[in-house]
């Protein structure tokens, strides 16, 4: 009875690709890149990939199919998905799709400390973010256009559509905030914040 394997984006993708055909680790990495999925699964550092494969292997979700020896290359182990692996992949996929997971991206955390800056400084950094988001958006749009032009079925690009929608939404939001900062509709000052603080904080936690 091996411990259940924890799901992760990379683990799911590995199972899914092996579902499609047996592969060796490097082949998996190549496929991920070839299909443009390196934007949604972190396969940049190979270490993670090899560890994930080990983990799946130890958990019995994948099995060694053969060990190739293509002289000039090191030995390459070809894996295939097991029946259990197929079942688990389905469960993971259902769970990951149906249940939004509470993750902690850095941007909202940083935003929550916006009062540390002056409104002018905030305007400046947020404009820089908006510009970078615009660049990302253009990139994603271009990629989508290329693939759609090649007649790739839409469902295989769905995650790109999602990324585009999210980047677009974030950019809109940031621009709305910068507009408010410029117009003065959103502003603050240390005095204003301190004043509010006193109203509400009679019994403040320990301090010096």
Partner DNA sequence: TGCACCTAGTCTCAATGCAACTAGTCTCGC
Partner DNA sequence: GCGAGACTAGTTGCATTGAGACTAGGTGCA
CB within 8 A of 119, min separation 6: which ones?
181, 186, 187, 188
Interaction partner, residue 173 (a second copy, DNA, none; CB < 5-8 Å by kind): a second copy
45 or 112, CB closer to DNA?
45
User: CB–CB of 174/130 below 8 Å?
Assistant: yes
Q: Which does 66 bind (CB under 5 to 8 A by kind): DNA, a second copy, none?
A: a second copy
Residues between 32 and 61 that touch a second copy (CB under 8 A): 37, 39-42
The CA distance from 86 to 20, in Å, is 11
First to last CA, the chain: 55
74: tokens are 């090191």
User: CB within 8 A of 168, min separation 6: which ones?
Assistant: 137
Residue 44 is classified by DSSP as: S
Strand blocks (E) in 20-142: 62-68, 76-81
Q: 175 contacts which partner out of DNA, a second copy, none, CB within 5 to 8 A by kind?
A: none
> Among 199, 78, 195, 43, which residue's Cα sits nearest to residue 52?
43
Phi, psi at residue 153, to the nearest 5°? -60, 140
CA distance 97 to 104: 18
Nearest residue (CB) to a second copy, 1 versus 200: 200
The interface mask with a second copy, positions 102-121, x = CB under 8 A, is -xxxxxxxxxxxxxxx----
| 39 sits near DNA (criterion: CB under 7 A) | no
CB of 56 to a second copy, least distance (A): 15
Using CB under 7 A, which residues numbered 81 to 120 contact DNA?
Answer: 104
Q: Which does 106 bind (CB under 5 to 8 A by kind): a second copy, DNA, none?
A: a second copy
In the list a second copy, DNA, none, the entry touching 153 (Cβ below 5 to 8 angstroms by class) is: a second copy
Q: Is 14 a residue that touches a second copy (CB under 8 A)?
A: no
Residue 78 CB, shortest distance to a second copy, in Å, is 7
Give the one residue of 72, 83, 100, 191 binding a second copy; rule: CB under 8 A. 100
> Tell me, what DSSP letter sits at residue 7?
P
Where does this chain bind DNA (CB under 7 A)?
5-6, 8, 10-11, 24-26, 30, 42, 44-48, 50-52, 55, 71-77, 104
């Amino acid at each position: 009875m091996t411990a259940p394997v924890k799901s992760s984006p990379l683990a799911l993708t590995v199972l899914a690709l092996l579902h499609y055909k047996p592969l060796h680790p490097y082949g998996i990495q190549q496929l991920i890149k070839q299909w443009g999925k390196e934007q949604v699964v972190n396969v940049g550092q190979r270490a993670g990939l090899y560890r994930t494969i080990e983990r799946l292997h130890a958990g019995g979700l994948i099995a060694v199919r053969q060990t190739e020896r293509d002289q000039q290359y090191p030995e390459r182990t070809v894996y295939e998905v097991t029946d259990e692996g197929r079942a688990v992949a389905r469960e993971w996929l259902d769970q990951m799709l149906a249940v939004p997971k509470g993750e902690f991206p850095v941007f909202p955390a940083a935003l929550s400390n916006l009062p540390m800056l002056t409104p002018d400084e905030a305007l400046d950094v947020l404009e820089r973010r908006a510009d970078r988001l615009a660049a990302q958006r253009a990139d994603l749009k271009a990629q989508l256009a290329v693939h759609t032009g090649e007649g790739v079925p839409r469902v295989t690009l769905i995650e790109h559509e999602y990324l585009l929608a999210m980047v677009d939404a974030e950019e809109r939001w940031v621009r709305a905030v910068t507009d408010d900062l410029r117009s003065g509709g959103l502003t603050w000052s240390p005095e204003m914040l301190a004043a509010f603080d006193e109203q509400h904080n009679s019994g403040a936690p320990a301090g010096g």
